[in-house]
Amino acid sequence: MPTKSRITRTLRIGLVGCGGIAEAHVDAYNQVSRARIVAVYDPRPTAARRFAADTGADVASSLKQMTADHQLDAVSICSPPGVHVENCLPFLKAGIAVLCEKPLAHNTPAAARIARAVKSTRTPFMVAFCHRFHPAVVALKKLMDRRVLGQPKLFRNIFASNLPMRGTHHAVPALSGGGCLLSNGCHSFDLFRFLIGRPTHVQAMTANITQKVPVEDLVLVHLNANNKAYAEISSSFSLAADNFIVEVRGTRGRAAIEYFNKDQPDLVYYLKGEPHGRIVDVSGQPNRFVGEVRHFLDALRAGARPSVTAEDGLIANRIAAACYKSAKEGRRIRL
């Protein structure tokens, strides 16, 4: 439950799920002040012991033991989305704040169940939509709020990488809920809502371009926000080189973000009538994982609600479900 007085002591953190994304959480907690990982849990004992050795934490024998014996203030849920319900609910019921990895769940009914539990328990909860905290996106949001680019009209986003799915939870629909559409697309849908507004219609196409697995490795999505703004979104787990791009075009200018490219500025924007772009330097800011963990813990200490809610996660799941329906039926879907 949120507290009325600010918490000043070191916060005790739990970690559920000791896979790849958990490493980003551990690194982020190590870079913020007054937070310590004290307990880890994973159904794979070897993975749990490795993270315990790296963090100095105890290995919990179960979620029940973790909630009861470690005096946790908060927990990061870094497990596959197919088990988010069973991993989140014990902590919500115990009043332990939850930072849950995206997507909120592997399907919409499961996401709705988590959202209902958050509402009924009133336990602090945040979905890890880390791209909201990418420094260049934070700077772009400020430009959008000031209407520097005018009215937004077109959002373009590419999240593409080479991620072999076979042999991982990504290739198991019961655990992942889908391929790149759900895994990456939930970030894209959240960014559109964060920067532009609420989409009203979707149209999507999915494919498997190289990977022979039961989930898609390529998706193309169009979003329509009540015929006032539009989005072109593409994502893949089967491209040779990572390519992460966010662009916004408005009535007065455009802005472009390119991740991980040392030859390009993090954020540059161009205004109508000006011959050169304006560079926004965000190089001194912490990475997006540190930003999201810091926001989560600051909200917990202040007894405030994190800015990224369970409802945001549920909406992303609903948009993804509509995209799958669109791809299957070959038509535009109204949200």
CATH at residue 205: 3.30.360.10
Residue 101 belongs to a domain = yes
Together in a domain, 156 and 39: no
**Predicted local confidence at residue 261, as pLDDT:** 86
Residue 24 belongs to a domain = yes
Q: How far is CA 24 from the centre of its chain?
A: 12
pLDDT tens per residue, range 203-212:
999 999 999 9
Q: What's the mean pLDDT in 230-250? A: 95
pLDDT tens per residue, range 25-55:
999 999 999 999 999 999 999 999 999 999 9
Together in a domain, 263 and 156: yes
pLDDT tens per residue, range 294-316:
999 999 999 999 999 999 999 99
pLDDT tens per residue, range 58-100:
999 999 999 999 999 999 999 999 999 999 999 999 999 999 9
**Predicted local confidence at residue 5, as pLDDT:** 62
Together in a domain, 56 and 194: no
Q: Compute the mean pLDDT over every residue in the chain, rounded to the nearest whole number.
A: 96
Residue 118 belongs to a domain = yes
Cα-only R_g, the chain:
20
pLDDT tens per residue, range 246-283:
999 999 999 999 998 888 899 999 999 999 999 999 99
Domain range for 138 is: 131-287+317-334
pLDDT tens per residue, range 111-128:
999 999 999 999 999 999
**Predicted local confidence at residue 1, as pLDDT:** 43
Together in a domain, 272 and 181: yes
CATH at residue 66: 3.40.50.720
**Predicted local confidence at residue 3, as pLDDT:** 44
**133: its two tokens:** 């905290």
Residue 243 belongs to a domain = yes
Question: Is pLDDT above 60 for 2?
Answer: no
Together in a domain, 135 and 266: yes
Q: What's the mean pLDDT in 150-169? A: 97
Residue 264 belongs to a domain = yes
Cα separation of the two ends of the chain: 33
Are residues 194 and 308 in contact, defined by beta-carbon separation less than 8 angstroms? no
Residue 6 belongs to a domain = no
Together in a domain, 279 and 299: no
**Predicted local confidence at residue 214, as pLDDT:** 98
**Predicted local confidence at residue 240, as pLDDT:** 84
Q: Which pTM does this prediction carry? A: 0.96
Domain count, the chain: 2
**Predicted local confidence at residue 4, as pLDDT:** 52
Residue 165 belongs to a domain = yes
